[in-house]
Amino acid sequence: MGFKDILSFDERGLIPAIAQDKETGRILMVAWMNHEALTKTIQTKQAVYFSRSRCKLWHKGEESGHVQHVHEIRTDCDGDVILLTVTQEQQIACHTGRTSCFYKRLDWETQTWEAVDPVMKDPKDIYHHE
Amino acid sequence: MGFKDILSFDERGLIPAIAQDKETGRILMVAWMNHEALTKTIQTKQAVYFSRSRCKLWHKGEESGHVQHVHEIRTDCDGDVILLTVTQEQQIACHTGRTSCFYKRLDWETQTWEAVDPVMKDPKDIYHHE
């Protein structure tokens, strides 16, 4: 039995994957994987996702250098979510230059979202498009 | 502008929600919310999800007593995932009686999933169906 047999990929052939920082426990991001992305993640021990917008494999950090080194892979009781424990290169997972993509916190009083985490690096210095 | 305006609910009107333990940082579970579930979560400061199988609101712990007290709500850069920081009643989030639903770890060598976390309470003693 292959390791993918207990996993529930959705009708698009995708499964959500959470990346959690090994040291801090922070949740860095959530992305998607297909069979091939998961296989490559296991083979390379670096996070490889499937980009829904670009419709192709996305080796996290391929452009930014913000690679995620994978220490552990888990799934849940239903087998419909993947959890990666990672070391995040340069401590920046988010394309906004922040450590985590989860930087917007709900203010209970005003019921508005507030960006509460600092930008560690200007995105212009992360991505160098022609 | 309402707090839901920056959120991306999918074509079913749902958004995935991750529950993370406030003290340990462990990811406890992933479930789904619709507008109403999120509103009730904010109002009650207890996690309310939308059960896809039962097609109705699911006040986590309504049967088991394993309520999740919500301290903080975040969303990510895309606004398509919710992150709850919670205190988990009785430290059991999973219906299998484990602390976390993410108890299956991939063994790199054998490429099989292994249940690596202990059952804290027999599910028969959690759910009392007639």
Residue A67 lies in a domain: yes
> How distant is the alpha carbon of residue B130 from its chain centre?
26
Mean pLDDT computed over A19-44: 97
Residue B99 lies in a domain: no
How many domains would you assign to chain A? 1
Kindly determine whether residue A76 and residue B111, on different chains, have CB atoms separated by under 8 Å: no
Residue A108 lies in a domain: no
Which of A10-14, B17-21, B69-73 is predicted with the least confidence, judged by mean pLDDT?
A10-14
Average pLDDT taken over every residue of chain B: 94
Query: Counting beta carbons within 10 angstroms of the beta carbon of residue A45, is it exposed (0 to 12), middle (13 to 18) or buried (19 or more)?
Result: middle
Residue A89, pLDDT > 90, answer yes
SS3 for B10? coil
B interface test, pick of A6, A43, A53, A76 with most B CB neighbours within 10 Å: A76
Tens of pLDDT, residues B31-66: 999 999 999 999 999 999 999 999 999 999 999 999
| pLDDT confidence of residue A5 | 85
Residue B103 lies in a domain: no
**Binning pLDDT at 50, 70 and 90, where does residue A117 land?**
very high
Q: Is pTM beyond 0.90 here?
A: yes
Q: What is the DSSP letter of A43?
A: H
Residue A8: which domain range? Answer: 3-90
Mean pLDDT computed over A65-88: 98
**Binning pLDDT at 50, 70 and 90, where does residue B129 land?**
low
Q: Identify the CATH number of the domain in which residue A26 sits.
A: 3.10.20.810
DSSP line for A26-74: -EEEEEEE-HHHHHHHHHHSB-EEEETTTTEEEETTTTTS--EEEEEEE
Residue A122 lies in a domain: no
Kindly determine whether residue B42 and residue A108, on different chains, have CB atoms separated by under 8 Å: yes
Question: The complex's ipTM?
Answer: 0.95
Residue A83 lies in a domain: yes
A interface test, pick of B71, B76, B92, B103 with most A CB neighbours within 10 Å: B76
Mean pLDDT computed over A63-76: 97
Residue B124 lies in a domain: no
Which of A124-128, B12-16, B26-30, B75-79 is predicted with the least confidence, judged by mean pLDDT?
A124-128
Cβ count near B62 (within 10 Å): 12
**Binning pLDDT at 50, 70 and 90, where does residue A39 land?**
very high
Residue B68 lies in a domain: yes
| pLDDT confidence of residue A127 | 81
Residue of B nearest to A97 (CA): B77
| pLDDT confidence of residue A130 | 44
